[in-house]
Each structure stands twice: as C-alpha cells, then as structure tokens.
Amino acid sequence: MANDNIYTQTTSNTGESACPVTGLGATFHPFDDPYLADPYPFFEQARQGEPVFYSPEINHWVISRYDDIKRVFLDHETYSARNAQTPVTPWPPEAAAMLNAQGLRLMPNLSNNDPPAHTRVRAFVGDAFTPRRIQWIEPHVRRLITEAIDRMIGLGKADLVKELFYEIPARVLLVFLGIPDADVAKVKTWSEGRALLTWGRLTEAEIVAQIPSFIEYVRYCYQLVAHLEQHPGEDYTSELVQKLNAEHPEGLSKDNIAVALFGFLMAGHETTTNQSGNGFRVLLENRTAWQNLCADQTLIPQAIEEILRHQSGVISWRRYTTKEVVIQGQTIPQNSQLLLLLGAANYDEAVFAHGEQLDLQRKNARQHLSFGLGIHYCLGAPLARLELKIFLEEMTRRMPSLRLVKDQTYRYSRNTSHRGPLSLWAEWDVV
C-alpha cells in the first residue's frame, strides 16, 4: 500500500534559505507568550505593517488581511487544502514509521482534500448537520446543559470549562456519531494530543511519546465503523455505513467513513469547547454586553456571530500554493505553506469598523471567517452555533449574576490554530 498517511508526508519544498526573513518573521513566535496569551496585538501589527511575511520558525508564509485570506479560501485550485491537517512541526522518522507500520490509512478526506476527491466525500457526508438533524439534536443539547447547571448552580463558584464547556460538546457529538458516553474522557484526551501533534511544537521525543495514543485514536475510529456495520444504531455513523453499502459510491470506502469520523471527533467538539470558553470570557469582561443579553435573549443570535468574529476558537488555518503567487506585492513560491490568520482578518478595519471592540449590534458580524469560506466551509458550523446558543440562553436565564473571578491567569494550548482558555473561573450569587 502506498503511503497516503497525511501525517507522515512532506508538505513543502520551501526552505528557510529560499525566503526572506523580515521584521515580523523574526519576531513571530506562535507557541510562546506574549503571542500565546494574547495574539491580537500581533495581529494588528501584522495587518498594518507587514500583512504578508515569511516565518522561519514554522516554515509558512503568514497572511493577515481579510480580503487576501478570503481570496485564498475561494481559489482552491491555486491554494490547495492538502496541508490543513499535516503537522506544523514535522514528525521524526521514528514516529512516522510507528504509524505507517499499523497499516491504518489517514488519507485526505474533508478539510485537507481537494476536488474531485473532496467533492465526492463532501457530497457523501454533507448532510451531517442539516436543519432537520439540528432540530433532532437540540433537545439533547439542552438537557445536558440544564443538568450540568443543576449540578453546579449551588456552588457559587466553578471552572466553567471543566463543568460545562469541556465535556458537553463531546457528549453531544458522540451520541450523534454512535459513541458511548463512557468513551468521552478518552476521546477528549486523544483530541488534545492530536492538536499538539498536528498544530503544536513538540520535541521529537514528545512526538514519539504521543504516537501510541494517536494510533489508539485512529484504530478506535476504524473499529467503531466495523462494529456499527454489524450492529447499527440510530446514529449518523451507522447511517453512513448503510448508505455506503447500499449505494456503493465511486471512489469511497469504509476507510473514508473512519477518517471522516476521525475528523469529526476533533472538529465537532474541541472547537466548540474553545469557542464557548472564549465567548463567555469576552462577554463577562464586557459587563454591559452580558447584562444586555440577560435582559433580552432576542439579542443572542446576533451576539453569537459577534462572539465568533471577536474571539474565534480557530485563529488560523492553512493552505499550500500550487503555483507562484503574489499577495500584497510579496512573491510566494510554488509549493509554499500559508498560515492564514483568521483572528487577524476578523478585526480588519477595512471590513469591520472598530474591529477590536465587541459590538453585539454589529450588522456585518456574520461576515467573519471563523468557519472558513468556499468549498471547505466548516461542515459543523450549525452545531457550533446551536451549542453556543443554548449555553447563552440557559446561563443568562439562570445565572445572570455570573462574573469572572478576579486576577486569574488564562492558559492556552501551545498550537498555532485552536485557541480557548484551559480554565475559566467564574462566580455568581447563590439564591
């Protein structure tokens, strides 16, 4: 079998010697403070001063303005998605060999695939979060959130990430995909490790140490598909297997379902955990905004879009040039990797007036790029919006006195793309 594992392939031929390292390129350190604690000052500096620069630390060209990123997303022929899931820090040969020895295929599937293969997969799984399915999921989401609030409301103080945002999105998604509640903890642990292996900066020893857990994660997805083929349930994975066996779509197999499951298990809950933590932090830091939502819940749908814009759970994404391009006067060679700073684009004054301000009345907030754009627009966006909506509805209704615990330190995972507080301590009045 040819090596089609996206984690063990070389993604770029561009080396440091081929690219000019200018001011921001020398100071861009995405895995360290102060950027890790708060990247938005750097985003502004990049947009205003050097909207395109080369970063030798991660071997990517970094793009920060809205219109440039929008054009990249919409031109999938020039800007391939092939590197969206490949490690920012390449794996050492030992780690790659460990994965390849398992014979588990991790071929391009959705976010890291290009047409025509992407078109086939997207058509096959694209009905995952239709309005009908979201309507089916909503009571389950509300029940889980209500039960969690019931358990903690008498405490008067809690870590909202631990008590609410960490587990609930995973439990929602796992029911949808046919995964037992008992597996939530290990799926979350696997996802955290995967984020570091894919978008983080680990030492070679740390990467090798993570590989057994990563292999267990991939194998779990394959085993679940095999199990649900023999014992189907009322879940989406079972439905995909039955659809595959009934229709035999060209170019697709159960491997595609397993790899899609592998993708859903990360994108479908880790991002929502991060987005919820970011959203509640910024709302509680802007007390008037929180009080307005508590007084008028009809503001929540618009508030969700502004939260997604202002504090995205995914602050950057990646592309790969299929030919030489020029962006903002900067020539970028063919076969170069791009880091698209979505968080910077979402503050771009050319599109969002006073972009650094949280404005729940912002008319064009939905133009944010937090879910991407074009053929790779996030499949799970409706589910993310639903979960954030119910978190806001239930917590503004039941906990209007909610406020941040003073003088806490916020910590974030050391990776380029997924951003959310690892803890968020809040307190409230116990009635």
Q: Look at phi and psi of residue 374 and say left if phi exceeds 0, alpha if psi is from -120 to 50, else beta.
A: left
- Mean pLDDT of all residues in 47-65: 97
Residue 209 and residue 192: Cα distance in Å, rounded? 14
Closest C-alpha to 283, from 311, 313, 302: 311
- Spatial neighbors of 301 by CB under 8 A, at least 6 apart, are 389
Sheet holding 52-55, edge to edge: 52-55, 60-63, 337-341, 316-321, 79-80
Q: For residue 288, which amino acid is it?
A: T
Whole-number pLDDT of residue 9: 63
Residue 311 and residue 420: Cα distance in Å, rounded? 9
Closest C-alpha to 275, from 111, 421, 84: 421
Q: For residue 383, which amino acid is it?
A: L
In this structure, how many other beta carbons lie within 10 angstroms of the beta carbon of residue 12?
Answer: 17
Residue 344 Cα distances to 7, 171, 311, angstroms: 27, 31, 10
Beta strands in 142-204, from DSSP E residues, in sequence order:
157-159
Residues 107 and 252: beta-carbon distance below 8 Å: no
Whole-number pLDDT of residue 387: 95
The more confident residue out of 137 and 4 is: 137
Pairing of strands 337-341, 425-427: unpaired
DSSP state letter for 313: S
DSSP state letter for 358: -
CATH of segment(s) 6-427: 1.10.630.10
Identify the helix (H) or strand (E) that includes residue 146.
helix 131-152
Pairing of strands 79-80, 157-159: unpaired
In the three-class reduction of DSSP (H, G, I as helix; E, B as strand; rest coil), residue 59 is classed as coil
DSSP state letter for 118: H
Take residue 299 and report the two structure tokens written for it: 């503001």
Where would I find the H helices in 231-267? 236-247, 254-267
**For residue 382, is the peptide bond before it cis, meaning its omega torsion is within 30 degrees of 0?**
no
Identify the helix (H) or strand (E) that includes residue 179.
none
DSSP state letter for 164: I
Whole-number pLDDT of residue 17: 45
Residue 350 and residue 323: Cα distance in Å, rounded? 28
- Mean pLDDT of all residues in 230-241: 93
Is the pLDDT confidence value at 191 over 80? yes
Residues 63 and 327: beta-carbon distance below 8 Å: yes
Which pLDDT band holds residue 1 (cuts at 50, 70, 90)? Answer: very low
- Spatial neighbors of 363 by CB under 8 A, at least 6 apart, are none
pLDDT digits (tens, 9 = 90+) for 325-336: 999 999 999 999
Whole-number pLDDT of residue 18: 59
Residue 272 and residue 232: Cα distance in Å, rounded? 27
Pairing of strands 79-80, 403-404: unpaired
Beta strands in 199-295, from DSSP E residues, in sequence order:
none
The more confident residue out of 324 and 192 is: 324
Whole-number pLDDT of residue 98: 93
Among all chains, which residue has been given the structure tokens 């996802």? 191
Q: What is the pTM of this model?
A: 0.94
- Spatial neighbors of 312 by CB under 8 A, at least 6 apart, are 275, 278, 342, 343, 346, 368, 370, 419
Is the pLDDT confidence value at 143 over 50? yes
The more confident residue out of 219 and 10 is: 219
The sign of the torsion formed by the CA atoms of 423, 216, 197, 117 equals: negative
- Mean pLDDT of all residues in 21-32: 91
